[in-house]
Structure 1
Amino acid sequence: MRVVLPAGTTETALIDGISAAGAAPELMEHTPSADVEILAYGEPVMSPVTPVSPNGCPTPAAVTRAVREVVDFDVAVVDAGLTQSTAAPTVDLGVEPGTDVREAVAVPAADAVFDHAYDYGASLPDDELLIGETVPGGTTTALGVLTALGEPTAVSSSLPENPIERKRRVVDEALAASDFEPGDCEGRPLEAIEAVGDPVQPTVAGIAAGALEAGTEVTLAGGTQMIAVAAVLRHAGIDAPLSIATTSFVADEQGDRLEAACDRVDTDLTITDPGFDGRDHVAMERYCAGEAKEGVAMGGALSLVPDDEMAAVRDRLEAVCTRLGIDGSGEESPTTEEPRGL
């Protein structure tokens, strides 16, 4: 099993109140670079931030890394528009960071990004792929693409209280800047991404499309952001079987809307509950309180864990948190000196 993780940035994440993926704008652009280092090495190596919320909730990369330490899997990180360099080995497809969706063009050359990613996905030798993502602001761009495609759905949030109305206002401004109305991009998904998306979307969609064409079984590892990618694939005429694997935290927030959205884009749905409510540890408590919820292929990684090994994942998460400078009470370890941003 290989987990493919496209990692990128979009200036959309800098819009006030949109994302919890950065405590300050100057830190947010480091979050995806730190995420992939945590997945590759177990902790940040070159990135100057440890992505942890002020309440002690670590990036989902910590959970995915904990799973990797219990259920080993290969990882391929794809640079899908990183602003900051990373020490993790990456596949470079020439993707540039995204701009603010309220500009006329959010993702220049989205079609070229898709084509390069398609070739990469088609070249992978695996029988099965999990494709994840890390991109601050990604739920807002997901809402933008879904709206442009005419797919009515809500999206999740990394915040306990989803600022969905603020996201909708941003999407309305973004569509107006690109001279589109909701649904204008039906059947033209790359135009939707170019107008109101982010660079991770055509990267994930292209990799998935190429892999599916090559006969590989593909699972999109994530929540409502991956519903947007699935919609892109369906609007592009790709009708191969497709699955989405996410967490119980997304399912709890979305309720029946999650299954309905998956039905609309004709994907199977796997929901995994990691059992965090049984542990007295700040990281797991914050996930249960609605922080983070998903990202960095967390839901897909958790779906690989046999039931009798989930307790081991929780143990490893505590160990990863210790390496990240988080003790069980949420107090900062005295050995941690890095600025934080989730």
Structure 2
Amino acid sequence: MEYNYLPHTDIEVSKICLGTMTWGRQNTEEEGHEQMDYALSQGVNFFDTAELYPIPAQAERYALTETIIGNWFKKTGKRNEIVLATKIAGKAPFTKFIRETGFSRNSIVEAVNGSLQRLQTDYIDLYQLHWPERSTNYFGQRGYQPDPRDHWEDNIHQVLETLRDLIKEGKIRQVGLSNETPWGTMRFLEEGKVHPSLPRMITIQNPYSLLNRLFEVGLSEISMRSKIGLLAYSPLGFGTLSGKYLEGKPPEKARITLFPNYNRYSGDNAVAATRAYKQIADKYNLSLTQMALAFVTSRPFLTSNIIGATSMEQLKENLGSIDVVLTPEILEDIEAVHNHIPNPAP
């Protein structure tokens, strides 16, 4: 395994992070525990979760993933071996069963305390805002479109004040963003710069893969110049970049098979790009899965690559990508496809 430091900290994390959003729906608690055991044995010390998980979100399954992780901590006693990240759910129609008050002080305090209880821990290493309160381009929306129904008032100072107080209480150590835009990222960073007593956002968890390199437009420069590290999610595009959907018949129990509305990586251009990337992988005798993951892990703005799996076979292949080195020739071929079919999935 290889490691990076979370920016501006002495917290060392594995360059592959174990994602958990299927535990409690597509995976049982026993399977989640098996994944954590194996990932830790392979040098993975970074787990990412959220109060919203498992997804798709359901009231009757609310925060089951955090509960599964908490039970593993209790069973194994290995909390101190893990850098733990979780998130507060943002305001949205599909989170009304959680709360409708966004990132108000009471909401953040309630969310943190709930996560601590379920995770059976006294502290969270990295606490993230799952998506902006503003109406903006997140979750599959390619560009910003002004929404006349968006009545958001800038509360970023108040959000950071609440997070600062929770840091002082020892409940969280560091804070980060997720599904954020260049404007939002800089707004948080500038607020912290103007008011040094406020905490600094150190990471941004956004989608990034061979099918979606939109992070490179604006955010990558912010990431590198301001040292806010990318935690890349969906590095396989809901499993599309494993190539398993190219055969015509969707595999049983696969994510897109079970939840067809998760189709942002399934359009004609995305399929064409996936086929082209598969040809590159075949040319160099590589697994498409491992080539796609190795590409993400190799990016200079990457802090950690969040992989997820619903089987141990998938997990082992995903973790094995850390040993794959992409030569200049492979990267040149990848760029040729990207130039021909740039960012086919939002």
TM-score class, shorter: 0.3 to 0.5
**Which of 1 and 2 has higher RCO (CA within 8 Å, sep 6+)?**
1
User: Taking structure 1 as the reference length, what is the TM-score of the superposition?
Assistant: 0.37
Which has more strand, going by share of residues? 2
Give the TM-score normalised by the residue count of structure 2.
0.37
